[in-house]
């Protein structure tokens, strides 16, 4: 019921609207290199956030689907926000977004990122969930330390109306590498469990001169 009605009917249409407009914005920039590489979009941030959260929560490993858990730890506040229309976005979470220009689809749940260059242990680690698919990357972070810098736009729907669309601007000149943040460098490391991760490379479909479709991996 949650996936069919809440996610599929109520929240996913706004995420699709957000994604489709980004695709059109990228095509417009590609067709006219003289224009500034800025893409401005409109989106209801609450509906986009609920859609992203719904997909992350639905990506359970097989073992997690066998037993109902009344509380899922730090992510329980995300689940309550997703289920209840009157709940505000949880104070202990942030949602980041950036242009993601790769066909590889990535889900990382319950992962931790650490900046070992920071002096205090409590300022080193950020816990959260990652969802990436063309043309966006989304990163949900829990109790993010102030010293932990994320190279993305904060689109946390906090203090914004839940019934209107906001204007969001993306600067394509400052787009992170397509392996960000799951392939850290420098002083950063990350920890995650294989059963909580998923990486998919969609097959490429091409049409030959005789009208037949052929599939291959990118």
| pLDDT single digits (tens) 49-107 | 999 999 999 887 656 655 667 788 899 999 999 999 999 999 999 999 999 999 999 99
Task: Pick the range with the lowest mean pLDDT from 6-20, 25-39, 109-123, 130-144.
Answer: 25-39
Could you tell me the pLDDT band of residue 215, with boundaries at 50, 70 and 90?
very low
**3-class DSSP state for residue 141?**
strand
CA–CA separation, 114 and 106 (whole Å) = 19
Bigger pLDDT: 197 vs 42: 42
What is the residue range of 110's domain?
Answer: 2-200
Per-residue confidence (pLDDT) for residue 205, from 0 to 100: 57
Q: Phi-psi bin for 7: left (phi > 0), alpha (psi -120 to 50), beta? A: alpha
Contact call for residues 11 and 58 (beta carbons, < 8 A) = no
Answer whether residue 217 is part of any domain: no
Could you tell me the pLDDT band of residue 33, with boundaries at 50, 70 and 90?
low
Answer whether residue 33 is part of any domain: yes
Answer whether residue 151 is part of any domain: yes
Contact call for residues 98 and 170 (beta carbons, < 8 A) = yes
> Could you give the angle at the alpha carbon of 99 between the alpha carbons of 93 and 105, nearest 5°?
80
Answer whether residue 98 is part of any domain: yes
Answer whether residue 54 is part of any domain: yes
Answer whether residue 10 is part of any domain: yes
Per-residue confidence (pLDDT) for residue 8, from 0 to 100: 73
Tokens of residue 151, six digits: 């190279």
Q: What's the number of domains the chain is made of?
A: 1
> Could you give the angle at the alpha carbon of 111 between the alpha carbons of 148 and 99, nearest 5°?
65
Could you tell me the pLDDT band of residue 218, with boundaries at 50, 70 and 90?
very low
């Amino acid at each position: 019921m949650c996936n069919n009605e809440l996610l599929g009917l109520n929240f996913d249409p706004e995420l699709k609207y957000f994604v489709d407009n980004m695709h059109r914005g990228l095509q417009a920039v590609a067709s006219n290199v003289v224009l500034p590489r800025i893409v401005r979009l409109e989106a209801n941030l609450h509906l986009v956030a609920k859609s992203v959260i719904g997909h992350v929560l639905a990506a359970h490993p097989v073992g997690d689907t066998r037993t109902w858990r009344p509380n899922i730890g730090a992510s329980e506040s995300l689940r309550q926000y997703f289920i209840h229309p009157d709940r505000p976005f949880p104070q202990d979470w942030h949602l980041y977004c950036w242009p993601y220009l790769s066909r590889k689809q990535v889900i990382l749940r319950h992962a931790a990122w650490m900046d070992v260059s920071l002096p205090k242990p409590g300022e080193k680690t950020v816990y959260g969930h990652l969802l990436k698919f063309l043309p966006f990357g989304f990163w949900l972070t829990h109790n993010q330390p102030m010293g932990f810098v994320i190279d993305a736009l904060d689109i946390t729907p906090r203090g914004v109306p839940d019934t209107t669309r906001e204007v969001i601007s993306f600067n394509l000149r400052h787009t992170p590498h397509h392996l960000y943040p799951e392939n850290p460098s420098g002083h950063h490391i990350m920890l995650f469990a294989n059963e909580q991760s998923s990486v998919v490379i969609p097959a490429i479909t091409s049409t030959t001169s005789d009208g037949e479709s052929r599939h291959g991996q990118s």
